[in-house]
Amino acid sequence: MRHKIFSSLLILALVVVGSGFGQTMKKTGNSGAAILKVPIGAKATALGGAMTTEFGDVNQMFHNPAGIAIEPGKTQFSFSYNDWIADLSHNAFAVSHTFGNIGTVALGGMMAGVTGIEADRDLQPGLEGVTYNTGSTYDFNTNFIQLSFAKQFTNKLSLGVSAKYFSETIDDDPVNAFAVDFGVVYFIGYRDLAIGGRIQNIGSDLEYFYVPFKLPMVFSFGVSMSAIQTENLNLKGFLDAAKPIDNEQLVYVGGELNFYKHFYLRTGYKFNYFGIRDEYTPYSSHQQIEDVYRDHWWNKAERNRTDEGISFGAGLVVPYSDYKMSIDYAYTTFDLLDNVNRFSLTFSF
């Protein structure tokens, strides 16, 4: 009973905090470090990002650190490859180990970037004290390193925390920031019903050419449960309610069908995400008064908020003695952009 009260209070606190910053939400695009919004891991992507209550997976350090907890003495290692949009490389690694009753510790990171971007330098802000590059191309590189810790207090309650150092360079102009994540997962005790909460990217601001940007902080509350549980077949549903600081309320849903505990089929979708269009006024007050419109992006009355659609995926678990290898794949559809393939490989021993 004491642990139930404790976990309920923690989840309630996460809800209150998440509601608080949600009320001061800024408009879409007003946060920086957008790469932190890209899901890491093929499994997470295939499930539409509904990963708040997933448990026993080292890749949870990138979603809900409470979910990295595994059995004492066990180790997990994972590598993820993402063939991201616009020729942007996006790869990640994670390794975790449980130290007896102390808890599970994980170390991981993400590396992304693209080189040789064509530069348009006709206009410059003209800020004093700023040296502008003159090359015909520029590079974009971003990465972070993260340390996570989780402790499973009982067979029902797990708490986790992460600390990350983020750095990004655009056209030889570097920025960096520190951030922390918090998470909780609680198993109700009915079948495999689980609830959880997470807050990500609480940290310092970024600053490009004296212009500050906040990190893309997001609060999520999730629930998951298996609708079918047999010896050779399992159908599990995932549901997350996410509130980013720079966007409206999002709902992530995912489903996973497991055959013989070795083969998985997955799908996921983000509601209030794909197909949502934002309205914009003309570029200037002069254009509004004189009814002057040009065929440019700023004069379009509506624009899509995002291009990402439904995701599909599959997974294969290959056990051997005390070892286990998991191979996961995800395919994400886009409208105007190219569809995206992701692969993850995880070893457990």
The number of C-alpha atoms within 13 Å of 341 and in the hemisphere containing its C-beta is 1
Query: 179 - beta bridge partners?
Result: 164, 203
Q: Phi/psi of residue 327, each to 5°?
A: -115, 120
Which sign, positive or negative, has the C-alpha torsion 96, 79, 176, 221?
A: negative
Distance CA 276, CA 142 (A): 28
Distance CA 165, CA 174 (A): 13
CB atoms closer than 10 angstroms to residue 266: 26
Distance CA 265, CA 292 (A): 52
Distance CA 52, CA 220 (A): 7
Instruction: Concatenate the DSSP letters of all residues of 6-64 into one string.
Output: HHHHHHHHHHHHHHHHHTTPPPTT-BS-GGGGS--SHHHHHTTT--TT--S-GGGGGT-
Amino acid at 268: G
> Looking at residue 25, what is its pLDDT?
43
- The tokens for 213 are 């940007």
- The tokens for 274 are 């794909």
Q: Report the greatest alpha carbon distance in the chain.
A: 76
What is the chain's percent helix, strand, coil content, to nearest 5?
15, 50, 35
C-beta of residue 168 within 8 angstroms of C-beta of residue 141:
yes
> Looking at residue 320, what is its pLDDT?
85
Q: Which of 11, 4, 14, 53 is nearest to 153 (CA)?
A: 4
Instruction: Concatenate the DSSP letters of all residues of 161-181 into one string.
Output: EEEEEEEEEETTEEEEEEEEE
The domain limits of the chain are 2-121+136-273+307-348
> Looking at residue 167, what is its pLDDT?
93
* Residue whose tokens read 């893309």: 216
C-beta of residue 89 within 8 angstroms of C-beta of residue 113:
yes
List the chain residues with pLDDT less than 70.
1-30, 121-130, 209, 274-305
C-beta of residue 84 within 8 angstroms of C-beta of residue 90:
yes
Cβ partners under 8 Å of residue 82, min gap 6: 38, 40, 89, 90, 91, 92, 340, 342
> Looking at residue 211, what is its pLDDT?
77
pLDDT tens figures, 16-65: 444 444 444 445 556 778 888 888 999 999 999 999 999 999 999 999 99
Distance CA 19, CA 283 (A): 33
Instruction: Label residue 330 left, alpha or beta by phi (over 0 means left) and psi (-120 to 50 means alpha).
Output: beta
Q: What is the CATH number of domain 2-121+136-273+307-348?
A: 2.40.160.60
pLDDT tens figures, 278-319: 665 554 544 444 444 444 545 555 666 677 889 999 999 998
